[in-house]
Amino acid sequence: MEAIQKMMVLASVQGYTAIAIGLIVGLGAIGACIGVGIMCSKFLESAARQPELIPQLQGKVFLLLGLIDASFIIGVGIALLLAFANPLLGVLNAVAK
């Protein structure tokens, strides 16, 4: 009976981890897309108002695009860590022994 309980706990941790991975990737993608969309729309709006500032603004837009995408990629990296090297399962295995 002890082995069945341990397997149930491990299965529930894996299930909750899968939900967390979906939330991390999904919400990160939504946030990055909304942020890029708002930023690019404001860039186009400001470029239409003052065309002489386009070179200065364009560099800043590309820098911020990289930072916004980097936050999403960091979230994907954390999700991959949880998917393939879950530290929670290692803690559970150490406590169960």
In 1-97, alpha helices (H): 2-49, 54-84, 87-96
Q: For residues 90 and 28, is the Cβ–Cβ distance under 8 A?
A: no
- Annotated catalytic sites, by residue? 69
d(CA 24, CA 32) in angstroms, rounded, equals 12
